[in-house]
Amino acid sequence: MLQLQLVLMVVVQVQVQVQVLVLVLVLVLVLVLVLVLVLSFDCMYLCLCLPAGPLSVRLV
């Protein structure tokens, strides 16, 4: 019985570690996606606003 309990504890720990790893990976992916979206949006916005003048860019 002791061995079984030990195995169960190890399995639970590994599962928790895997869940944490997956969570961290998902968070990193979301952060990268948001960064890419923000950067591309900023670039588009700057390209659109530059002909209008630097004032509009400064206001934003």
Q: Is residue 37 part of a domain?
A: yes
Segments forming the whole domain that contains residue 41? 33-60
Q: Report pLDDT for 51.
A: 60
Q: Is residue 52 part of a domain?
A: yes
Q: Is residue 49 part of a domain?
A: yes
Number of domains present in the structure of the chain: 1
Q: Report pLDDT for 55.
A: 52
Q: Is residue 8 part of a domain?
A: no
Query: Is residue 49 within 8 Å of 56, Cβ to Cβ?
Result: yes
Of 16-20, 28-32, 55-59, the range with the lowest mean pLDDT is 55-59
Q: Is residue 20 part of a domain?
A: no
Of 24-28, 30-34, 36-40, 46-50, the range with the lowest mean pLDDT is 46-50
Q: Give the pTM.
A: 0.54
Q: Is residue 23 part of a domain?
A: no
Residue predicted with more confidence, 16 or 40:
16
Q: Is residue 11 part of a domain?
A: no
Q: How many CA atoms lie within 13 A of 59 on its CB side?
A: 7
